[in-house]
Amino acid sequence: MERDYPTRRVVLGFVCAPSLTGLAAVLGGLLSALLTGRPTEAVAIYCSLAMLLMLGGLVTYGLPGLFIGGVCAAMRLHRSPWVVAAVAVLAGAVCQGWAELFASRSLDRTLVPTLPVLGAASPFVVGACVALVAALLLLPPALRTPADTATPRPDARG
């Protein structure tokens, strides 16, 4: 039985993972402004906007991140393609449900925020992508079984 599972790192990492979306949005806007030749206002404005969006992501989606991180830590999940995909789909579904809950409580009953291309599916796609990156970075590597480390058998053909 494994005792040294990085529970704190996994839970705190998934709680803080929604902050990555704010940082990515600002870096994307800054990169777009630089590549298209549009004048960039001040770097300080982009930095303050990044901090504001990172805090907003943490406040808005921190609780779903805590749920996903708690599930990963409770199940002691390890990084493998199927586990990472399952965590991404679960996180996308939780984020979509969280956004729908917010939309049901708002006055105009619209999802906030949405990407123009994705529309109402924005929370699912963004949540799944962020969880995919977080799972790849935070989950410990897959456990090796004794069968994986055994010496291969010689070929039967002789």
> pLDDT digits over 53-83, tens only?
889 888 889 999 999 999 999 999 999 999 9
Q: Which amino acid is at 33?
A: A
Per-residue pLDDT band at 3 (split at 50, 70, 90): low
Structure confidence by residue, pLDDT tens digits, 120-130:
888 899 899 99
- What average pLDDT does the structure give for the chain? 82
Predicted pLDDT at 108? 73
Per-residue pLDDT band at 1 (split at 50, 70, 90): very low
